[in-house]
Amino acid sequence: MNYLDELNDAQRAAVENISGPMMVIAGAGSGKTRVLTYRVAHLINNGVDPFGILALTFTNKAAREMKSRIGTIVGDGEARNIWMGTFHSIFARILRIEADHLNYPRNFTIYDTQDSKSLIKDIVKEMGLDPKIYKPGVVFGRISSAKNNLISPEAYQQNVDIVSEDHQTGKPKMAEIYLQYALRCFKAGAMDFDDLLFKTNVLLRSFPDILYKYQHKFKYILVDEYQDTNFSQYLIVKQLAAAHQNLCVVGDDAQSIYAFRGANIQNILNFQSDYPDFKQFKLEQNYRSTQTIVNAANSIIAKNKDQIQKEVWTSNDAGAKINVHQSFTDNEEGKYVAGEIFELVHRESKKYSEFAILYRTNAQSRPFEESLRKNNLPYRIYGGLSFYQRKEIKDLLAYFRLAANHNDEEAFKRVVNYPARGIGKTTIEKLTIAARNAEVSLWDVLKNPHTYKSGIANATQGKLNDFATMIESYAAELNSIPAYDLGHLIATSSGILKELYDDKSPEGVARYENIQELLNGMKNFSDQEDNTNPGRVFTLSDFLIDVALLTDADNDDDDDNKVSLMTIHAAKGLEFPVVFVVGLEENLFPSQLSLHSRSELEEERRLFYVALTRAEQIATLSYATSRYRWGTLTHAEPSRFIDEIDEKYINIENATRPKTPSLDFSSERQRFQSNTAPLFAQKASVKPVAKSTAPIEASDQGDIEAGQEVMHERFGKGKVLSVEGDPANKKATVFFPKVGQKQLLLRFAKLQIL
């Protein structure tokens, strides 16, 4: 059977359109992955060299699945030659090839968030700054936003508005920290995840010959989930596609839900302005859900103004109405959901893996976990501690990283005295001071203690030399023996395996088993075959590249027969026969943080659309009328989103239909048009609360901090729980005994510090 015959008319038209810019708007469950994979296969079958095809995804798992499907049509050999992977993995590959242009080693380390925060913590300490003001997470977030907006440390320092913002928030040294962070990463031969995109932009901008090389290498470019791209990704794609303009983007504006991490929905909404002669294809037939679920989802998303018009439909059965259930408390809600799952499993013989419980935030999982446990129902939580973030795994990976890159200071500090070898904190401090004074790495000082006058005693220096000799012995085998062989050697000879084996506590046994599991994974990695390069040895260097770019989605075990609990953000791209969307209450979903502008509320509505369209057969919406928040029982109102569903598609079991609250939108976020745009988009303003008859004298918003007692004109006396956001958007979460917890925009709240 011809693979094209497996497509419907709309899908086939998109697959057969080979040349020029094109956009495929793919509604939920419309088979976009099939269109992407078949289009790549069709290109190859029509004579396009697979080495000239670049396909960008958002998870390695998606890339692997697509490659496998393509291989069944054109052959595995051809499929392996396609440049297909995540943005970060593809551009990390290019950066390793072109590392010399940026004065980086090809074996540069990729820092994860934990590494970056650790480095920032050290810099803050060395600069003598208050760690309570310059919190690693806050500083890292600021640096990350700057990089995603393509603002270098130098440009950051020279931007008067940005520097002024930092002074207003009481963090005048932010620019200096950013500069030091960039310099330390560079000296360590390390890039963080944001650098993989930032440095690629630098490479393409600063070296026209490199840009020309990749523009003409990649004659056909495909981008999955285009609505989730940020400015940095958008610009890279635009530059690479400029020569041939054979660009195919696939996505759904109705599923754009990642603005919090920089995704810009305008990239897909404004595709036509970037490519006026583009062709548009709409995939509107839903193969996943019942007619009731599809029609209900359509009635919700129709409320959004910023969207590309489409009418998703399905020929599936009508299916049952969507149940709406009211509980009195969140614990009762948990019992209700567990009871429904128990009933369906035993009455209709469903598997546990057919169920998903979706919530707005991770903190909402507790009552559902408790109820599932009490009923002995197996479950798993997505988004927990990643396997590769566990201490014992990061310890062994640090040895691997240091063998590949001796200048990796975060790896060095992690393992130089683990397992303990008599190299104490004082020695590390002496090494660090000498390295900072000479502007070299810790490894340079270790290897040349007298040159850099480290002041380390001879006995300790002997221990350091032994450590260095051990690391260098690993490095000598780095690119010659299989990853598993060297990994097992390091785990054994470093003493990590013995250290964990000797710990017979339950935690120690679990850590030892985790190391064994890592080595098992390395064995599988080493044993794979490369048809394009028979006899190739997959080394520890290859493994480090692979593992550094894994995402949480790549670690999921699809075979477990367990109920899935996850945030809606984590559920995107997944589907389940039975879905419970829980916690559907005002200020929880939609989030109270997202009620300042229409664009924010529309993103929340898209998130609800994504949640509902995960369901294939049965969807249930639930909410509680009271919920504990910050230790206080608060009254809850049902979400406006319930009211937005056409009533003919829902069955209200024991609840009253909510009335949609009204909002006054005084401004909208603006799409930033170029790399000279402001660092952070301004939050839209909201109407100030009406004044009472007892006016107060508002304190400077920059002085308001967590823990303070404050007075509000309307709500009275309260306590500040937290303060967050940049100056224009600064918000305080305040608990008022009379009215409960409120989140207030400080420029309008007029709080008086008591």
Could you give the residue numbers annotated as active site?
32-33, 224-225, 255, 614
In whole angstroms, give the CA distance from residue 15 to residue 23. Answer: 11
**3-class secondary structure, 177:** helix
What's the CA angle centered on 35, arms 33 and 41, to 5 degrees? 105
Task: Compute the radius of gyration of the chain from its Cα atoms.
Answer: 28
Q: How far apart are CA 607 and CA 609, in angstroms?
A: 5
Q: Which two tokens stand for residue 675?
A: 């790399």
Amino acid at 488: H
Nearest Cα residue to 416 out of 514, 488, 473, 495: 495
| C-alpha dist (Å) from residue 188 to 56, 72, 402, 461 | 29, 43, 10, 22
- Residue 398 DSSP SS3: helix
CB 607 within 8 A of CB 569: yes
- Can you tell me the distance from the alpha carbon of 590 to that of 300, in angstroms, rounded to the nearest whole number? 13
Q: Which residues contact 697 (CB under 8 A, 6 or more apart)?
A: 752
Tell me the CA distances in angstroms from 325 to 371, 582, 624, 655, 673, one per residue in order. 17, 9, 9, 6, 44
Q: Which residues lie across from 62 on neighbouring strands?
A: none
Both tokens assigned to 189: 């031969």
Measure the CA–CA gap between 692 and 739, rounded to whole angstroms: 15
Other Cβ atoms less than 10 A from the Cβ of 443: the count is 21
Longest dimension (CA), the chain: 83
Core vs surface per residue 632-660: b (16+ CB within 10 A) or e = eeeebebbbbbebbeeebbebeebeebee
Token output for 419: 């397992």
Q: How many CB atoms lie within 10 A of CB 279?
A: 15
d(CA 24, CA 223): 10
- Contact of 80 with 529, CB cutoff 8 Å: no
What CA–CA distance (Å, rounded) separates 573 from 366?
A: 24
Q: Which two tokens stand for residue 747?
A: 């420029």
Is residue 145 a contact partner of residue 680, using CB atoms and an 8 Å limit? Answer: yes
CB distance 377 to 357 below 8 Å = no
Distance CA 654, CA 93 (A): 56
Structure tokens at 355: 């169920």
Stated as kind and residue range, the H or E segment containing 622 is: strand 615-624
Looking up tokens 């993103």, which residue turns up? 603
Distance CA 441, CA 189 (A): 10
- CA angle in degrees (0–180, nearest 5) for 700-705-709: 90
Give the bridge partners for 358, in sequence order. Answer: 566, 581
DSSP bridge partners of 22: 248, 279
